Every structure is written in C-alpha cells, then in structure tokens.
Amino acid sequence: MTSTVESVYEEVLRRNPGEAEFHQAVKEVLHSLREVEKRHPEYADARILSRIVEPERQIMFRVPWVDDKGQVQVNRGFRVEFNSALGPYKGGLRFHPTVYLGIIKFLGFEQIFKNSLTGLAMGGGKGGSDFDPHGKSDAEVMRFCQSFMTELYRHIGENTDVPAGDIGVGGREIGYMFGQYKRITNRFDAGVLTGKGLDWGGSLARTEATGYGCTVFANEMLGTKGESFDGRRVVISGAGNVAIYAAQKVEQLGGKVVTVSDSSGYVVDENGIDVALLQQVKEVERARLSEYAARRDGVKYVQGGSVWDVNCDVALPCATQNELDEAAAKTLAKNGVKVVAEGANMPCTEGAVKVFREAGVLFGPGKAANAGGVATSGLEMQQNASRDSWTFERTEEELTSIMKNIHDTCLATAEEYGTPGDYVAGANIAGFKKVADTMLAYGVV
Ligand code: GLU
C-alpha cells in the first residue's frame, strides 16, 4: 500500500474526529505536496505522509491545583511530541481556555515544518493546557505551573523535548516551571526550556524574536516588489508578545503601525502606536487595550468590530488561529493591502488565503513568517550547550539572517516546484523535504 495526498487526508479525518484545526493544518500542507508526490515516489513507498501526520507520542495528564480561595481546580495538560527526525521535539506551551487536543496537534504539526525551515536541529512538538491565566493571581499561576511541571518533567530534557512559551506562557510562567523542574530533578538543565530569564540561561532577543522576525520577513516580501516598510501603513492584530515586537520593528524600519487589538476590541492610533505605552499596559499591568486608549490623546478605541476594516499597505495578524476570515481578506484586498505576513499560527482561514492569492496579495504563512521565535529558541539552546551568552546584536543578526534565508528558500522552492511566488507551497515543500529525507534515511522507525 502506498500513501497519497488524498488517502492520507481521508485517513486523518477518520482517525482524528472533531479536531478541526488539526484537519485544517494538515490539509494545507498536503495540498502543497502534490507535485512533490509526483517527483518523489520514494516518499509514497515508505509511507512518509502517513507517518508524518501521526504524532510519535501524545501525552495528556491531569493538572490539579488549589486556588486562592482554597478550592481545588482541575485542568488538563498536553504535550504532543510530533516528530523528532531533525532533533529534540521543540515547541511552545499554550495556556488558554480554548486549548484541546486538536489545537495542540495543529500547532505541533505546523512546528515540524517551521522548525525544519529554520535550518537548526529541532524536531516538532507542542503542549499546553486549558488553564486560563487571565484574572489569576501570581500565586495561582505559580501553583498551576508547579503542578503542570510535576507531571511534564518526566517527559522533557535538553536532548528529548524542549518546551517554551506560546499564548498565555511568557517569562513568568517559564520561571515557575523551570524552578519546579530544577527542584524535582536536582539539576540545572538550562537547555530543558527556552524563553528563560536573562539571569538564568535565557537569550537576549528571544523576547523580541517572533515579532522582529515576522517584520523582517514581511520586509523581504516587500523587497520583492522593490519596496520596504519605509512610509508604509501597517495594521497589526493582537497585543501580546508577537504584536508588540512586530510593531517595534516596523517602527524601526520607518513604517507606521496604526492599530493593535485584543479580545475585546482594537485601537486606531493615527500617530503610530506608542510601543512603550503598549508594553506598560499589556506586559507590566496585564490590562486591557481600552487602558491604552484612555492614556493617549487622539486614539480611537473600537469595542468589538474587526481590526481588518482599517485600511493599510501591510497586515500582520499576530493574535490567534482563524482570526482573519474570507470576508476580512476581501476588505483588506479592496482597501489595497499589498503584503500579509502571519505572526500568529494559522491566523488566516483557508478562504482568506484563497482571496489573497486571487487578488495578487503577497501572503507569508506563519510557519515561515513567525519562525523567528523558535529559531531564537534554537540559538538559546546553542548558548546553553556552550555555557555562553551572546550579545543582543549578535543574536539579532543571526535571527535576521535566518529569516532572510527562510524567505529566499520559500521563493526558490516555490519556483522549483512550479508555483513561483507562492510562499505557502515554498514553505511547506522546503520544510517537508528535509524531514522526509531524514525519515527515509532512518528507515521505518
Ligand atoms: N510558540 C512559538 C512558536 O509557535 C515558539 C516555540 C519555541 O520557541 O519553542 O513557534
């Protein structure tokens, strides 16, 4: 029996019922692989596709903890160790009430190809919990993280599986988890988590990396049209780690970010988003965006509504999956958007991507455009392994060169496989081939 794009997709639907986001992520990748399938029958013979859509290991566990009122709470924890062909499983942890197995599997699947594109030795994995850090005290977050790590620690290690942050998991959570890991194991294994604090094995520029990388990638896309961010009007969704640093880099490159958003609304700031104020409101105070609008003159706060109604040259969706649908894509295209690059994971629906393609809007998929975060996690692992710490400049230089390289690889691969200018095909094919060739080399394992 061989595996084909069609039969594998049907099998994925059948064996993973109810996991819509995972189906969506798999469909997009498989769709890009038709030409690869024709040119490389060896993959079908070895059933690479059937193997690559099946996680190597899926871990689900109970996370009990006690809240500030003394009540017992129970959450569910996940770690999906998807593919370790290229290196230890690598990928973030997401703490958000929408988390279920289908979300973690979509993210873990994307991570395989994203990590492959970075050129660093990292496999793909993802984890998290349906725990909602929003509105919880520091003490509650700490107790949850300690309980989560009390189970997770036995599955991870610098050569096995290296988690990091994602939505709802930043420096605070990584600190609590690293502390608990160190206590349980009695080992200072710096390389077991990335996104650590600078005093205990973290890397300079890791905090900025996903956002910076996304903007650098979008700038390269603009470059193919002989343009740059200079003087460009930019719409960014989200107001978390990715959005904040994407905005900062746009500003450094001479562009103007006019919006950011959170789950309750968005702000329009025609003077350009004040990144320092945004950091204060979102990162220090963990407050709502309405607070940003309240503290700055001339800012419009729109409750609800769609940030994609705001006209722009470049759109960077940096919030969450499926936040930009077909209707929003049509509005953006009508308003003249030239480039869309995904800072979040799969923020554009399948319908939205189709609209961009048909309208001739350049579209950079997340597994390429937001790879800067995990790439810099890879650089953090290198620093940990050599007990070294690099300067901000050196780390950012490496990040920038990785992003440019991913951009060029996407274009060259798209060209080679007959879809010039298609970043989705380029990213999927280039990311896939390296993993597939390695799986062939290993035999059936
Ligand atoms: N969560 C980030 C991503 O989606 C980073 C993962 C990491 O640094 O391991 O790629």
State the catalytic residue, choosing from 114, 126, 249, 282.
126
| 28 Cα to the center of ligand 1, angstroms | 20
- Residue 357's SS3 state is helix
The pLDDT of residue 4 is 87
**What is the per-residue pLDDT for 13?**
98
Domains of the chain (ranges; CATH) run 3-188 (3.40.50.10860), 209-364 (3.40.50.720)
The owner of tokens 């460009």 is 232
Percent of the chain clearing pLDDT 90 (strictly above): 99
Confidence bin at 265 (pLDDT 50/70/90): very high
What is the average pLDDT across 142-163? 98
In the block, residue with structure tokens 């080399």: 441
Query: What is the whole-number distance in angstroms between the Cα of residue 123 and the centre of ligand 1?
Result: 12
Categorize the per-residue pLDDT at 3 as very low, low, confident or very high, splitting at 50, 70 and 90.
Answer: low
- CA of residue 373 to ligand 1 center, whole Å: 6
Atom of ligand 1 nearest to the CA of 206: 8
Q: Are strands 256-262 and 265-269 parallel, antiparallel or unpaired?
A: antiparallel
Both tokens assigned to 162: 């290296």
Using the atom order of ligand 1, give the atom closest to the CA of residue 107. 4
Q: Return the C-alpha torsion angle 436, 441, 442, 445, nearest 10.
A: 50
Residues 6+ apart with CB under 8 A from 151: 61, 62, 63, 77
Q: pLDDT tens for residues 397-419?
A: 999 999 999 999 999 999 999 99
Pocket of ligand 1 (CB under 6 A): 90-92, 114, 164, 166, 194, 345, 373-374, 377
pLDDT tens track for 131-143: 999 999 999 999 9
- Residue 1's pLDDT band, with cuts at 50, 70 and 90, is very low
Q: Is 27 a catalytic residue?
A: no
What is the CA(92)–ligand 1 centre distance, in A? Answer: 5
Beta-carbon contacts of residue 205 (< 8 Å; ≥ 6 apart): 212, 376, 392, 395, 396, 399
The pLDDT of 339-359, averaged and rounded, is: 98
| Mean pLDDT of the 314-327 span | 98
